[in-house]
Amino acid sequence: MNTAVTFFSRTGNTKKIAQAIAEAACCTAQDIAAFDVQDTVDLLFIGGAIYGGALEPSLAEFIARLNPEKIGRAAVFSTSASKTRYGVAVNLIRNALKDRGIPTADDSFCCRGKFLFMGRKHPNDADLGDAKQFAVSMTGRYSQ
Ligand SMILES: Cc1cc2nc3c(=O)[nH]c(=O)nc-3n(C[C@H](O)[C@H](O)[C@H](O)COP(=O)(O)O)c2cc1C
């Protein structure tokens, strides 16, 4: 079975989480610009964040280009400067995937990411450990 990890990250927080997920899922984290949308994937992890109140446009475009016949299921992850905003990017990514006809895992992952004076030192080792657990849980459920 085939698992891939893709992400968009402006300042590196989501990239760190993507790399932890990829390590646990025994694959390589790929920036969305490097991922071939014609690849067939049983489980695709997709990560992103909020900038200026919205999802990164290139991530929305990437999801619109995914082929629903080639993706078994997507698992969404994100980083957020504020705990109160944890669900924002996750929900936008999930909704874009649903619009594209790609089933999503019920569970998702989000942790804090540093932004200006907020969330300093995040993602930290505990966040990376939690992300790895999320990856193990998702691959156990959807990729076997
Ligand atoms: C230019 C910029 C704009 C941001 N705008 C928002 C925002 O409108 N709302 C919000 O909750 N977080 C905002 N953030 C915080 C990011 O969502 C957060 O730091 C996230 O972890 C960034 O992920 P990244 O390091 O993978 O790019 C912004 C961050 C940056 C760098």
CATH numbers and ranges of domains, the chain: 3-142 (3.40.50.360)
Say if residue 32's pLDDT is above 70: yes
Q: The pTM is what? A: 0.97
Ligand 1, from 8, 115, 127: best to mutate by most atoms within 8 Å of Cβ?
Answer: 115
Say if residue 144's pLDDT is above 90: no
Q: Which residue has the higher pLDDT, 116 or 100?
A: 100
Burial of 85 (C-beta count, 10 Å sphere; 0-12/13-18/19+): middle
Q: DSSP for 66-90, please give it.
A: S-TTTEEEEEEEEEESSGGGHHHHH
Beta bridge partners of 78: 48, 110
* C-alpha of residue 143 to centroid of ligand 1, in Å: 31
Predicted local distance difference test score (pLDDT) of residue 5: 98
CA distances from 14 to 38, 40, 67, 143 (A): 24, 23, 23, 22
Placement of tokens 């920036």 in the chain:
31
Is there a contact between 22 and 46 (Cβ–Cβ < 8 Å)? no
Predicted local distance difference test score (pLDDT) of residue 119: 79
Say if residue 39's pLDDT is above 70: yes
